[in-house]
């Protein structure tokens, strides 16, 4: 059985093109020296999954893949939510246990570093990531806000109006100001051409925008927009640059994370040319804590992510999702992932056991392992591995003792991060504040002008009314003023009384009858 296993590994993991050595194959708990488990560079744009319980070694596996890709001149983008990936910029200090592990695998251990660029979506230090509202477009912007068809129609009108009038739609305050203008001062201006906007839909959109603003989205929308071509840089030695997005302070803001992820993937897909079949990927993206992308995403957002995953590989881009359980990834997305690296899962509850049983069904059938049982017995730094070979056929499932990262398995000190950021050529390009005239300023000026014109018109009306009233008051002062006086009224009553008495006397109805 051992000979058959070694032959199966040798045949399944021998490739014509370049490949990455991931570790050594294991059988019955022992590493079979020189039975190397490799990943072909040619299929790394077919996406992948790294899964496993907390502490099982997922992050280190991600680190191994990233540094090996970088060494093969492939740029990498990492989402560092836990803050423990910065060590890839520094060389490992080595350890006797690392030497022992590599001796079992059959490859020497060499410490090394990768060129790193720190990026930031929030208040973390690094190159600022921004995008304008216009770059999202009405469809993607509506999906991010999880709007219905009527509300999406209102968003489309806002974008169309800004396009027609040449109003730059850069940040959220631009969008909100335009929406407010079209439902108040500009209502008559648009009704003929664009139709009337529902106040209920407008109110719902405003509430959705406030929701993402509370998660810090106003820092992401705006200028200077990040150019995704800057993710494709190599250093002077020809190594792919590892861009690390520091996201430690947005774990409790999943809406912002999913918004950013979808926009960046859409921008990469729109910007990168078609590559067809490539010998190695153009860019590989690792999304750590991937459940944060999916658990808060709407159905429309999930559909959009699924579509991009299907299409983006033709641009030479690979996506790797890192999460605790394969069940965290929607089935339609999971089915698109060519490589799977499964670390240990823990069975503490009946629900956990059910999840393990389902997870085992995600992997190719094998004569060498009881996959369901092995998933609970994997040690730290061990994983079940399967990938696609150069013909797109899944490789045999192999229990693998993973190699150690060549870089530091710990975070960088604050001063080390500061040194890397200070040497960045992108800081001066993206970290300047830019707030040029856009829809907000233009419409504010228009509203002020309209209010000024209305104010002047109202003043004219009030002046005319005051003049007319004054004229009527002057006529009264000559005649009615006398008639309205108390003395005049008293005299009038006396005259009327005497006149009445005289008339009654003439008719013989008043006074005493003469004899």
Structure confidence at residue 330 (pLDDT): 86
Higher pLDDT, 485 or 311: 311
Confidence of residue 462 (pLDDT cuts 50, 70, 90): low
| Average of per-residue pLDDT across 366-377 | 91
CATH topology of domain 2-130+223-430: Rossmann fold (3.40.50)
SS (H, E, C) 191-207: HHHHCCCCHHHHHHHHH
Distance CA 223, CA 246 (A): 19
Are 61 and 50 contacting, i.e. CB atoms less than 8 angstroms apart? yes
Residue ranges covered by each domain of the chain: 2-130+223-430, 133-219+437-449, 487-515
Confidence of residue 62 (pLDDT cuts 50, 70, 90): very high
Distance CA 490, CA 173 (A): 70
Residue entry with tokens 């970088």: 70
Are 404 and 77 contacting, i.e. CB atoms less than 8 angstroms apart? no
What's the number of CA atoms in the CB half-sphere (13 Å) around residue 281?
31
Structure confidence at residue 151 (pLDDT): 92
Distance CA 282, CA 232 (A): 7
Tens digit of pLDDT for each residue in 184-216? 877 888 887 888 888 899 999 999 999 888 888
Peptide bond into 7 cis (omega under 30): no
Structure confidence at residue 90 (pLDDT): 94
The three-class DSSP label of residue 50 is: strand
Tell me: pLDDT of 406 over 90.
yes
Higher pLDDT, 263 or 23: 23
| Average of per-residue pLDDT across 100-108 | 95
């Amino acid at each position: 059985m051992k000979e058959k296993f070694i032959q199966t590994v040798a045949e399944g993991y021998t490739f014509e093109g370049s490949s990455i050595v991931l570790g050594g194959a294991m059988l019955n708990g022992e590493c079979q020296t020189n039975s190397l488990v490799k990943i072909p560079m040619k299929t790394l744009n077919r996406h992948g999954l790294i899964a496993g319980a907390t502490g099982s070694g997922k992050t280190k596996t991600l680190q191994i893949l990233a540094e090996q890709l970088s060494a093969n001149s492939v740029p990498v983008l990492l989402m560092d939510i836990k803050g423990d990936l910065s060590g890839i910029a520094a060389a490992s200090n080595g350890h006797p246990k690392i030497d022992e592990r590599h001796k079992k695998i059959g490859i020497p251990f060499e410490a090394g570093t990768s060129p790193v660029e720190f990026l930031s979506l929030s208040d973390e230090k690094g190159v600022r990531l921004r995008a304008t509202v216009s770059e999202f477009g009405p469809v993607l912007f509506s999906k991010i806000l999880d709007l219905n068809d009527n509300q999406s129609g209102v968003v489309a009108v806002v974008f169309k109006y800004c396009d027609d009038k040449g109003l730059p739609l850069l940040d959220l305050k631009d969008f909100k100001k335009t929406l407010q203008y079209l439902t108040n001062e500009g209502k008559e201006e648009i009704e003929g051409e664009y139709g009337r906007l529902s106040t209920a839909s407008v109110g719902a959109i405003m509430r959705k925008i406030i929701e993402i603003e509370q998660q810090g989205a106003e820092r992401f929308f705006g200028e200077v927009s990040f150019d995704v071509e800057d993710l494709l840089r190599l250093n002077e030695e020809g190594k792919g640059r590892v861009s690390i997005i520091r996201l430690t302070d947005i774990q409790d803001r999943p809406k912002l994370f999913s918004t950013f992820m979808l926009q960046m993937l859409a921008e990469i897909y729109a910007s990168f040319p078609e590559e067809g079949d490539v010998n190695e990927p153009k860019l590989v993206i690792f999304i750590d804590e991937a459940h944060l992308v999916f658990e808060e995403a709407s159905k429309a957002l999930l559909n959009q992510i699924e579509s991009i995953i299907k299409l983006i590989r033709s641009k030479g881009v690979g996506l790797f999702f890192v999460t605790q359980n394969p069940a965290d990834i929607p089935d339609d997305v999971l089915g698109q992932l060519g490589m799977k690296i499964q670390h240990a899962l823990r069975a503490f509850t009946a629900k956990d056991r059910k999840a393990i049983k389902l997870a085992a069904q995600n992997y190719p059938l094998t004569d060498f392992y009881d996959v369901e049982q092995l998933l609970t017995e994997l040690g730290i730094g061990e994983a079940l591995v399967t990938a696609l070979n150069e013909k797109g056929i899944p490789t045999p499932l192999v229990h693998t003792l993973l190699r150690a990262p060549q870089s530091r398995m710990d975070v960088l000190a604050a001063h080390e991060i500061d040194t890397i950021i200070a040497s960045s050529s992108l800081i001066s390009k993206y970290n300047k504040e830019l707030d040029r005239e856009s829809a907000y300023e233009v419409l504010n000026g228009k509203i002020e002008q309209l209010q000024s014109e209305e104010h002047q018109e109202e003043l004219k009306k009030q002046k005319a009314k005051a003049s007319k009233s004054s004229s009527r008051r002057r006529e009264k002062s000559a005649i009615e003023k006398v008639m309205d006086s108390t003395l005049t009224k008293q005299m009038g009553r006396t005259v009327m009384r005497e006149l009445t008495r005289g008339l009654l006397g003439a008719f013989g109805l008043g006074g005493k009858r003469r004899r």
